[in-house]
Chain A
């Protein structure tokens, strides 16, 4: 039974580590700093870097950097102009969100109802784990009860004697024919 708990903790630890990894990834993105504004030549790559986090407001579900329509080409020029005037990528995002609604942002702002998007995966995993732990606890309690008794259930759930050896299993399969 101690093994049971040991492995439960191992599983829980694994999931916590993964959750921590996600959190770190999120925090790392928070810490990104923007380059100071300078009036300058803006390359296509810089424009695309911003445009890839925007979705085309008119065509359906196409990131702005790859959209082939004339309208999107114009929007990319707008981004270029804005960047050349010294606006930061965040300013550009804000401008587009103001003009066309927040749904043009590939990464919705982490506020208000949008927080659900970040909390839900974590909450779902944690709740699932809690449910799991309770389920296993229930089994533990039940199997403790039936240790003395010799009901038919306990007989069924006994492991077969030699199921532990892989080679034996293959051997067994070989003998079948």
Chain B
């Protein structure tokens, strides 16, 4: 009964979105607003329908209704309640339904906001959003139906994939999905602007915050994914250039490029075509990424949710691509800009360099990720690109980007004189050099590390000075420092939010340099009482035990003491787990974390024989916590930039209305 309600709701949502697209199209064609409004209402109705459907699936999971195939696949009777709920996105069919729910939420929010101001764009926005929904709901309803029944009802289910039981993994997919589905909003507005020829920057103003929100969730998804990998996958790292990681990094990169270049359009009315292109690119990469994750075209550690939906996705990507390209070509005359770059030492040029580097990074990641397919097409043999090649190719590009990050904020719109720029960078450059010299005598002598530290310190000083200059200007007007600093940010959230994001990235960069270039590791087989030495650390193995965990889990836990310079500083309990039903092993490392480094221990193997011997793998990850700290700063900055600002919005809206009136008066 319950699954049937869920399925009927899903089918209804599918039909309603077809109707929404049709009503918006027809109403716009014959010029009847009532039809368009009916289309809007239909778009809004999709959300409760999909929510009902997802609710019914959750209820089936909670009821242990193993007559539903999906429930049998991802759940089991002994699983704790919260995992039964989160199992909604623990497999292909459920996660697609969840995806539909999130997309419907975004669609509803768009319909609910600023309807009146965007009457001209809205019919097209509804059409584009609804077409996307028709596709995804169609996949859910007809190909990956989460409510498919089993003829023979099994007594118990398979249980959730152990890798997905970690708290980080529970929130990581929803964040990514929110990021992915959120990009449908800028995409639909961009297409609406193209089709309706309303190519002023209204679509950009309307979607800027949405883009930031989607981008924030994508960033959060990436950061949480890294944290999850570090905590659970047990290989001492956080980013492996896995195809699925890349699949979510690529839209993030395109979105980052867009968030920067959009400022040129707002300020100088240039690069309209380029901005539309970036939005289209971002969205195509989102769909392509989803396709890659779910089709198993490229093998990955993320193969939790795979099935034969490949051809459909492929067709959809092709349609989207042709659709976008068609309208971009058709409207290209309207997209040319009157203004030109006046100097290439200017803010707009700096944004252009930023876009150039980011797109280069994107192109390299794209080629490497899809290399298995490309090489198979060309030579017949499946090639593969491992992490070392990525690092080699991308390190110089990222270095250039970080350097630009420091210098670009110093440039002015229109043009900046070289002299001014020289004056502004000389002292930070010298100070950063001094830092490198000091570190050299402290033992940091790899040329890559020294160059990296110089660039990051240099950019960090320049970014810090931007904050200082603004604060000082306010203090001169009599504001105390504790008021001046937050006021500065409140007054121009976008700029200072952006600088906070830059700071976060730079702090992360320190962490990446430290953990990439100075990671130490060793692996050894020792008996209890013996120890392993790594760096200034010594690890003593005290013993291990094996016990039954929840469900079908068998946990092996070692007990070790960590000594730093001879003094015991921590007692750690790395575990190796085995899910007996599926035979899947899991390695749960334990670490002693400080701001300087992580002493990260993995229990590779333990056999309860007479000798009580175990194999350990130990990593010393310098500065790794800077990566997470930088991530927090990054998220804070994005929140500063994206937080709704009533006053500013009113000003913008007033201006927008004035512009609209002016146009009408012509």
Contact = CB atoms under 8 A, between A and B. Distances in A.
B346 to A, nearest CB: 9
B299 A60 contact: yes
A153 B338 CA distance: 7
A55 B299 CA distance: 12
Interface in A7-28: 7-8, 11, 14-15, 18-19, 21-22, 25-26
A55 B384 contact: yes
B615 A44 contact: yes
B418 A121 contact: no
A37 interface: no
A61 interface: yes
A48 B523 contact: yes
A148 interface: no
A83 to B, nearest CB: 14
B415 interface: yes
Contact of B386 (A105, A113, A170): A105
Interface of A, helix, strand, loop or mixed by DSSP: helix
Contact of B523 (A44, A132, A166): A44
A157 B301 contact: no
Contacts of A117: 367-368, 371, 385, 389, 393
Given A3-B343, A68-B585, A164-B420, A53 B384 contact: no
Contacts, number: 180
B266 to A, nearest CB: 15
Nearest to A164: B412
Interface residues of B, number: 79
A147 interface: no
B299 A61 contact: yes
B381 interface: yes
B387 interface: yes
A19 B400 CA distance: 11
Contacts of A7: 343-345, 418
Contacts of A166: 469
Contacts of B146: none
A103 interface: yes
A48 B521 contact: yes
Interface in A47-83: 48, 53, 55, 60-63, 65-66, 68-69, 73
A107 interface: yes
Interface in A109-144: 112-114, 116-118, 120-121, 124-125, 128, 132, 136, 139, 142-143
Contacts of A14: 400, 403
A120 B375 CA distance: 14
Given A66-B235, A159-B413, A22 B303 contact: no
B555 to A, nearest CB: 14
25 contacts: A7-B343, A11-B344, A14-B403, A18-B396, A21-B451, A22-B396, A60-B301, A63-B240, A65-B235, A66-B234, A102-B381, A103-B372, A106-B389, A117-B368, A117-B393, A120-B363, A121-B360, A128-B356, A139-B340, A143-B342, A153-B339, A163-B413, A163-B414, A167-B469, A167-B473
Given A107-B386, A158-B414, 16 more contacts: A7-B345, A7-B418, A18-B396, A44-B522, A61-B300, A66-B236, A102-B383, A108-B385, A117-B389, A121-B364, A136-B341, A136-B344, A143-B342, A156-B339, A164-B416, A174-B491
The 3 A-B pairs with the shortest beta carbon distances in the complex, nearest first, are: A106-B386, A159-B414, A66-B235
